[in-house]
Structure 1
């Protein structure tokens, strides 16, 4: 309904993958929203702390004044609230459960493993890369020959995985290592290319060079 599109706000960070999960889902659904950028490098806004007093972090979706936090929780709320036009989660209960499983796997297994590689010392990096690649292998197998994890269209796991599609290549370049090679991960490599070139994803994802500069100069700076 058109009225349901009113009063949707996203408190987020333009270079943050978890915030952009929410924005991508809203874009795919055709939901009009207002982005409120949080300066996470300095003081968090009073509104962010008010709307997310437990974690005090982005993203937060505010719909008709009611806040929802945590990106995967927000994605499910979006799916259940705006049911028209586009489907993020499968209708089949078993397939929905599998989608939730893989999204959680990305957050709990893959992301920490990649972060460990990026922050590891040179003498530890080879082992960290092996561990991260081991974490990626189940996703490579799950993807098989599908265009997206969601099949022919971007779905729940793909949205969760945007951190892999854009942030892994940018982190590789910023820090100087190779993790997601086309030789070792042909399915994930093709998926990541198709994902970042998707017309709606391109509206949301930051340019790679901008992200590389941010990661190099801020996130993984030797001054930190």
Structure 2
């Protein structure tokens, strides 16, 4: 990727990971160049195991030989490490209170949306999916209010420009769009959550998003493969 001097940036990732996509979005927004290393999580590399010995998971950002783990930690590191370097705008607000609000909603996504979403994909029957799907839709309804609070009528959670919460949620946009094909219902529905639906369309039109978001049809096929593998594993 072309961009500002990266100080030897490498990203260990995996195509289907929304967490990896968050980091790609931040790097793209900042205009930073980096080497991308696709990881086979069924046969983890020595580089991954050495770089993230605690969780042995992606994403891992390596900056000048030093690894940074966990997608939200990485986003904050990128924001701080490349502040004032002529790259893209800050993801987190300068005001301490506004920064705390952004961190609150990012934590809400991590705590209330991600876990039931993971359970939906791991479920092997429609009955097992029913409760986590309800939890997902409830979380999205609450995020509609979060967007209203954070944006103050502007286009993004970050206001006029994309911010921290936009990137945290934006990493899952391709999966949100694939949800209808996978489970027969829109996760972000213009009739129920009009602010989020409009936000998602605006977000997808960003050059930074177009550069890194997964193709929705490919996500559908990838997710179907994961669901089938989980079902086969459960039947054995």
Q: Which residue of 2 aligns with 1:159?
A: 167
Give yes or no for contact 1:150–1:158 (8 Å, CA) kept in 2: yes
Please show how residues 2-81 of structure 1 align to structure 2 within 5 Å.
5-40=6-41, 42-81=42-81
> Structure 2 unaligned runs (5+)?
none
TM-score, scaled to structure 2? 0.86
Q: Which residue of 2 aligns with 1:182?
A: 190
User: For the residues of structure 1 that align with 2:132 and 2:65, how far apart are their CA atoms?
Assistant: 43
User: For the residues of structure 2 that align with 1:101 and 1:136, how far apart are their CA atoms?
Assistant: 15
User: For the residues of structure 1 that align with 2:81 and 2:68, how far apart are their CA atoms?
Assistant: 12
Shift of 1:187: 1.0
TM-score, scaled to structure 1? 0.91
User: For the residues of structure 2 that align with 1:4 and 1:198, how far apart are their CA atoms?
Assistant: 22
Give yes or no for contact 2:11–2:62 (8 Å, CA) kept in 1: yes
Shift of 1:123: 3.6
**CA spacing shift, 1:219–1:63, aligned 2, 3 Å:** farther
Q: 1:210 aligns with which of 191, 204, 218?
A: 218
SS of 1:5's equivalent in the other structure is coil
Q: 2:115 aligns with which of 93, 102, 112?
A: 112
In the alignment, does 2:149 pair up with 1:148? no
Give the RMSD, CA atoms, in angstroms: 2.0
SS of 1:161's equivalent in the other structure is helix
In the alignment, does 2:118 pair up with 1:103? no
User: For the residues of structure 1 that align with 2:212 and 2:191, how far apart are their CA atoms?
Assistant: 28
**CA spacing shift, 1:99–1:37, aligned 2, 3 Å:** same
User: For the residues of structure 2 that align with 1:28 and 1:154, how far apart are their CA atoms?
Assistant: 9
Deviations 1:99-154 (A, max 9, x none): 11111110111111233344373345454433222112221012124311111211
